[in-house]
Chains A and B, each alone.
Chain A
Amino acid sequence: MSLGIGDRAPDFTLPDTAGEEHSLEGPAVVIFTCNHCPYALAWHDRIADAARDYPNVRFLAINPNDAERYPRDSLEAMRERAEREDWPMPYLHDESQEVARAFGAKTTPDVFVLDAEGRLRYRGAPDPDHQNPSLNASWLREALDSVLAGEDVARPETDPIGCSVKWRQ
């Protein structure tokens, strides 16, 4: 079951790599992502740049992967990465995978743009091509610009592209 456009996103509280808890609030971008996937890594800088360019929007990066089978996605590995890199958004650990299931996340990355009421206004890839940094998370930015202007999002859904979420077996 996946969150549909117009649906209200489920409330959640998750800890970041420092143990601080974060929840949804106001317009927000939720990105399911991880450490080990080349698609997530290739798009990361573009998403981080968008987070810096929209300081009034809450960006939450969530790692939902099973760390037992994918140790590079362990909390410790997340902490090391967040400390090593300059992250403009918290990196949250969805250990139970409940948040990823509630959103219907499929891949890393999988981007969800929510309006001030917490309703889903865009879901999909950050932009059309993981190999082309100049695209600059254009789909994500277009959606955010529309949400912040109180307008309909012209392209509310695209196919998320990336590594499958690593569910516990």
Chain B
Amino acid sequence: MTVELLWWDGCPSHPEALAELQRILVEEGVDAEIARVEIEDDDQARRERFPGSPTIRIDGEDIVPPGEGDPFGLTCRVYRTRDGRISPLPDPEDLREAIRSRVG
């Protein structure tokens, strides 16, 4: 399993996203290295199809796929938690579900 955390320094959520990702991988018994990819400019954001920070991909797939037509660029990503709140981080259960779907 490949696990990537794409992040941008202008958004303060990435340390928390990394900690959450590490925690859930351990809880799910998955021994995977997290590739951290810093996105530094708009060109790189477009090349990497980066919809905002943080973006977590497992086996190349975004755990919360962005909407069609959502722009790529240097921004903080807006997530919704399962109880409907707006958050700078994905809901931990979305993350857990994405990991579980890969480990079967």
A residues at B contact (CB < 8 Å): 36-39, 41-42, 69-70, 130-131, 133, 161-164
Contact = CB atoms under 8 A, between A and B. Distances in A.
B21 interface: no
Interface residues of B, number: 15
B77 interface: yes
A146 B30 CA distance: 51
21 contacts: A36-B75, A37-B76, A38-B76, A38-B77, A38-B86, A38-B88, A39-B76, A42-B85, A42-B86, A42-B87, A42-B88, A69-B73, A70-B75, A130-B88, A131-B85, A131-B89, A133-B85, A163-B10, A163-B11, A163-B75, A164-B11
A163 B10 CA distance: 7
Residue in A161, A162, A163 whose Cβ sees the most chain B Cβ within 10 Å: A163
B12 interface: yes
B72 interface: no
3 smallest CB-CB distances across A and B, nearest first, come from A38-B88, A38-B78, A41-B86
